[in-house]
């Protein structure tokens, strides 16, 4: 007789920010049939199931304490790849890294990638992740052509914009609560070289940051800005904008050669520090004054560096942090939370100024800020809107947890009053009323109705969903 779920191996799971932890049984299904069998067993034993990919969500979106975690990384095959059309068919545990390594040599790059290449594509779809180009390409959902969905009761739907369009738009952005994707078909972007043309432009204030975004959003393929969240006064929100564009055919003489994945990997040192030690070095500065100095140093370097275009590999541009696996050590032992509000364009500057001033007044400052630009997209619970996001990393300590959560509550109030939204992959603090206000009662009701239809037994559960009131 096969073991019951209570006898399954257990693991302590945490989010990528490792600021909360819980124990779950876990299983790694390797096929659609195994997924179905796992759902059936869980339903029979009254255990609820969370779907988890690489565990790159910062908070509790792939955690399920006391219940079962289905680790989807076991379904990680490339099912089909057509280098003529740039269409890939993959299982949900296939990662962003797996994908670009398979396609780059043929001259194709995923149209949307997050800031790390380790997430699974199933997880990316569930969260409708974005990259540094949402304002041009939308989220990953906009790159997806079709997928197979297995519901908790074991039914299989093949879903696209034409077949079951309502499901298509709700499963993408539905944070894994309507069933599990078992096959995913997506279209990649044709590129002519392994490098991007990049410019780094210093911004002396938040106002300048927005001015640079507006100036470049029509003529760039990627826009992202680093924000110093610690400097105040006239330098509030200062930083450095990175503007990048694809090269045209023949523009980069070495472009073709650099389509070789082996030539995309990064060197072993960063600014003279071996990559394996970067976390240790950062940890020495992991207090407010130390981080003020790090941010100041980075800002001064940005004002001194040339603003002319240079060539940078796709991987280095998108996934720099992946090559410094130790960077999170700076936040040990209690971890950190990321707080990333999405605010409509017309209110973004004012809201972000208010948030930064609030952080500084409370002495709870973000060690790193990242500003990005979005357009609205077609997905039901998408975080994207015509506006901007400011991602902030707050260290959690034993003594600041309560004050930090309280401040996040105040920030959420400001963001919601401006019509803002949030992102399940990053969130650690939202409450049910925040969730309803962020997406509006109409969208939330539509999602809940779909959830009742697809998962009437409420088999699927994550700590994030439970926290925001999606039962």
Partner 1 sequence: MASSFGTALVIGASSGIGEAIVRQLVAEGTTVAAVARRGELLERLAAECGDKVRPYVHDVKDYAATPGLFDTIVSDLGQLDLLIYNSGVMPRVEEGEYNFAKDREMMEVNVLGAMAWINPCAAYMEARRAGTIVGISSVAGDRGRRGNPGYHTSKAALTTYLEAMRNRLSRYGVTVATVKPGPVDTPMTTGLKLPLLIKVEEAAAGAIAAARGGAVHGYVPAVWGPIMLVIRHIPSVVFRRTNI
Contact set with partner 1 (CB under 8 A)? 3-4, 6-7, 10-12, 21-23, 65-66, 333
Residue placing its CB nearer to partner 1 in the complex, 106 or 334: 334
Name the residue nearer to partner 1 (CB basis): 326 or 448. 326
Q: Which is nearer to partner 1, 162 or 398 (CB)?
A: 398
CB of 66 to partner 1, least distance (A): 8
CB of 4 to partner 1, least distance (A): 8
In the complex, minimum distance from the CB of residue 311 to partner 1, in angstroms, rounded to a whole number: 43
Q: CB-wise, 12 or 257, nearer to partner 1?
A: 12
Min dist CB 278 to partner 1, Å, is 20
Minimum separation from the CB atom of position 23 to partner 1 (A): 4
Do the beta carbons of residue 222 and residue 246 sit within 8 Å? no
Q: Which is nearer to partner 1, 22 or 288 (CB)?
A: 22
Q: In this complex, which beta carbon is closest to partner 1, that of residue 21 or of residue 161?
A: 21
- Minimum Å distance from CB 248 to partner 1? 52
Is the Cβ of residue 2 or residue 219 nearer to partner 1 in the bound state?
Answer: 2
Smallest separation (angstroms) from partner 1 to the CB of 274: 23
Contacts of 50 by beta carbon, 8 Å cutoff, 6+ apart: 24, 62, 63, 64, 67, 68, 69, 70, 176, 460, 461, 462, 463
The 3-state secondary structure of the chain reads: CCCCHHHCCEEEEECCCCCCEEEEEEECCCCHHHHHHHHHHHHHHCCCEEEECCCCCCCCCCCCCCCEEEEHHHCCCEEEEECCCCEEEECCCCEHHHHHHHHHHHCEECCCCCCCCCCEHHHHHHHCCCCCCHHHHCCHHHHEEEEEEECCCCCEEEEECCCCHHHHHHHCCCCCCCCEEEEEEEECEECCCCEEEEEEEEECCHHHHHHHHHHHCCCCCEEEEEECCCCCHHHCCCEEEEEEEECCCCCCCCCCHHHCHHHCCCCCEECCEEHHHHHHHHHCCCCHHHHHHHHHHHHHHHHHCCCCCEEEEHHHHHCHHHHCCCHHHHHCCCCEEEECCEEEHHHHHHHHHHHHHHHHHHCCCCCCEEEEEECCCCCCCCCCCCEEEEEEEEECCCCCHHHHHHHHHHHHHHHHHCCCECCCCCCCCCCHHHHHHHHCHHHHHHHHHHHHHHCCCCCECCHHHHHHCCC
Which is nearer to partner 1, 12 or 79 (by Cβ)? Answer: 12
> Minimum distance between the CB of residue 334 and partner 1, rounded to whole angstroms?
9
Closer by beta carbon to partner 1, 23 or else 156:
23
Q: What is the nearest approach in angstroms of partner 1 to the Cβ of residue 286?
A: 17
Nearer to partner 1, 22 or 160 (CB): 22
Q: Least distance (Å) from partner 1 to the CB of residue 63?
A: 10
The whole-angstrom separation of Cα 34 and Cα 28 is: 9
Q: How far apart are CA 130 and CA 375, in angstroms?
A: 11
Q: Which is nearer to partner 1, 11 or 406 (CB)?
A: 11
Q: How far is the CB of 49 from partner 1 (least distance, A)?
A: 17
């Amino acid at each position: 007789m096969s073991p019951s779920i209570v006898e399954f191996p257990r693991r302590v799971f945490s989010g990528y920010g490792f600021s909360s932890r819980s124990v779950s049984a876990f299983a790694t299904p390797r096929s659609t049939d195994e997924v179905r069998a796992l759902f059936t067993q869980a339903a029979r034993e009254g255990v609820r199931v969370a779907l988890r990919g690489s565990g790159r969500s910062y908070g509790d979106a792939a955690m399920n304490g006391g219940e079962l975690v289905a680790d989807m990384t076991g379904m990680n095959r490339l099912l089909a790849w057509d280098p003529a059309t740039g269409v890939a068919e993959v299982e949900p545990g296939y990662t962003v890294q797996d994908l670009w390594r398979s396609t780059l040599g043929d001259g194709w790059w995923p149209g949307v990638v997050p800031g790390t290449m380790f997430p699974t594509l199933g997880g990316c779809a569930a969260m409708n992740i974005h990259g540094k180009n949402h304002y041009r390409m939308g989220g990953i959902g906009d790159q997806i052509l079709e997928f197979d969905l297995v519901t908790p009761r074991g039914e299989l739907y093949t879903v696209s914009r034409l077949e079951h369009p309502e499901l298509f738009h709700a499963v993408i952005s539905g944070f894994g609560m309507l069933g599990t994707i078992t096959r995913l078909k997506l279209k990649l972007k044709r590129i002519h070289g392994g490098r991007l043309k990049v410019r780094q432009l210093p911004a002396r204030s938040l106002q300048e940051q927005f001015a640079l975004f507006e100036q470049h959003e029509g003529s760039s393929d990627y826009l992202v800005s680093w924000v110093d969240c610690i400097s105040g006064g006239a330098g509030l929100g200062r930083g450095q904008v990175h503007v990048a564009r694809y090269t045209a055919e023949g523009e980069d003489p070495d472009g073709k050669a650099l389509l070789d994945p082996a030539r995309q990997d990064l060197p072993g040192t960063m600014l003279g520090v071996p990559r394996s030690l970067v976390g240790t070095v950062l940890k020495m500065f992991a207090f407010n004054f130390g981080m003020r100095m790090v941010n100041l140093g980075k800002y001064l370097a940005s004002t001194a560096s040339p603003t002319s275009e240079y060539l940078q590999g796709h991987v280095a541009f998108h996934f720099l942090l992946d090559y410094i696996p130790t960077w999170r050590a700076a936040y040990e032992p209690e971890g950190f939370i990321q707080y990333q509000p999405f605010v409509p364009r017309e209110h973004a500057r004012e809201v972000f100024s208010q948030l930064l001033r609030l952080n500084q007044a409370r002495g709870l400052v973000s060690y790193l800020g990242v500003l990005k630009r979005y357009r609205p997209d077609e997905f039901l619970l998408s975080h994207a809107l015509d506006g901007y996001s400011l991602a902030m990393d707050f260290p959690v300590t034993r003594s600041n947890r309560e004050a930090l959560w309280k401040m996040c509550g105040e920030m959420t109030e400001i963001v919601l009053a401006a019509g803002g939204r949030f992102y399940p992959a990053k969130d650690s603090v939202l409450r049910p009323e925040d969730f309803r206000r962020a997406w509006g009662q109409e969208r939330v009701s539509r999602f809940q109705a779909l959830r009742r239809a697809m998962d009437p037994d409420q088999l699927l559960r994550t700590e994030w969903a439970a926290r925001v009131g999606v039962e």
